[in-house]
């Protein structure tokens, strides 16, 4: 079982954050350990509260897991402020690959990361990431670019590589088109992965799920391209099999994938 240490926020609605991460890694046959960075008050309609976990508790969780269970891959999600980013960057070892999901904006449109934390995220974690997985709004924040099409996505992905990341998965779900394209951008070239947009409101936690699925694949020894392709397929099926809970952006059907 590939071991994935997930460092992220908790979602009380269960659709995103630590909860989605654990479901994803488990469904893909991996072992999920966690370090909770914040507790959020949220459901499918939005986020109404964010409560950071004390820095010594975040560091303690990470050190406790790594000193005993260990990790093959680390996946980061919501790191709401500079202090949390600095703590995480200081504690995680350079020898373990990191999948950085630069969680800044929730599906509902709620901001989950302060503007002043963006430069710290870029300098301390994006710069050492094995993979970064921004959606279009997040990529625009990271690069300062306006992204209107796949060509802009490619340029933004290449910009993020210059920050030090070894690879970037650019998610194209925010483009106003029916035929969606995700990109795996590396120094060796760009791989395009296409899908038809699904007509559904049940997309809460897609970013968390994709990044965790990539991490699970990497932890299991898959090549990066294989891990990304398998993660993309997992997310597409989980969207299609969503249970339809809630009145807003509903959760995915993680437990129904493959069934």
Is the Cβ–Cβ distance between 11 and 250 less than 8 Å? no
Q: Which of 203, 209, 217, 250 is catalytic?
A: 203
User: Which three-class secondary structure state does DSSP give residue 135?
Assistant: coil
Active-site residue 44, yes or no? no
Buried b (16+ CB within 10 A) or exposed e, 143-182: beeebeebebbbebbbbbbebebebbbbbbbebeeeebbb
Exposure pattern of 67-98 as b/e (b: 16+ CB <10 Å)? Answer: eeeebbbbbbbbbbbbebbbbbbebbeeebbb
Per the annotation, the verdict on 171 as an active-site residue is: yes
Asked if 121 contacts 112 with a C-beta cutoff of 8 angstroms, the reply is no
Residue that has been written with the tokens 């994803």 in this structure: 24
Bridge partners for 204 per DSSP: 251
The catalytic position among 23, 143, 208, 209 is 208
What is the rounded distance in angstroms from the CA atom of residue 115 to the CA atom of residue 126?
A: 16
Name the catalytic one among 157, 172, 207, 253: 207
207 in catalytic set = yes
Of 23, 75, 122, 171, the active-site residue reads: 171
Catalytic residue among 107, 181, 206, 209: 206
Distance (Å) of CA 136 to CA 55, 93, 144, 207, 241: 30, 29, 11, 11, 24
Q: Is 206 a catalytic residue?
A: yes
Residues catalogued as catalytic:
171, 203, 205-208
């Amino acid at each position: 079982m590939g071991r994935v240490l997930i460092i992220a926020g908790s979602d009380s609605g269960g659709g995103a954050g630590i909860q989605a991460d654990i479901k994803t890694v488990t469904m893909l046959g991996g072992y999920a350990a966690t370090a909770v960075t914040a507790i959020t008050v949220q459901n499918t309609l939005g986020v109404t509260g964010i409560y950071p976990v004390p820095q010594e508790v975040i560091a303690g969780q990470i050190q406790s897991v790594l000193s005993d269970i260990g990790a093959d891959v680390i996946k980061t999600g919501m790191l709401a402020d500079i202090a949390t980013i600095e703590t995480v960057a200081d504690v995680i070892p350079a020898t373990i690959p990191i999948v950085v999901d630069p969680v800044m904006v929730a599906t509902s449109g709620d901001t989950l990361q302060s503007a002043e934390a963006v430069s710290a995220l870029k300098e301390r974690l994006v710069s050492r990431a094995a993979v970064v997985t921004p959606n279009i709004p997040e990529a625009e924040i990271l690069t300062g670019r306006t992204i209107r099409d796949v060509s802009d996505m490619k340029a933004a992905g290449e910009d993020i590589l210059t920050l030090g990341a070894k690879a970037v998965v650019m998610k194209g779900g925010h483009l106003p088109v029916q035929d969606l394209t995700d990109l795996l951008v590396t120094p060796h070239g760009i791989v395009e992965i296409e899908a038809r947009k699904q007509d559904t409101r049940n997309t809460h936690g897609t970013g968390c799920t994709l990044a965790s699925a990539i991490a699970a694949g990497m932890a299991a020894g898959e090549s990066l391209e294989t891990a990304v392709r398998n993660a993309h397929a997992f997310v597409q099926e989980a969207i299609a099999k969503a249970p339809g809970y809630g009145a807003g952006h509903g959760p995915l059907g993680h437990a129904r994938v493959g069934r």
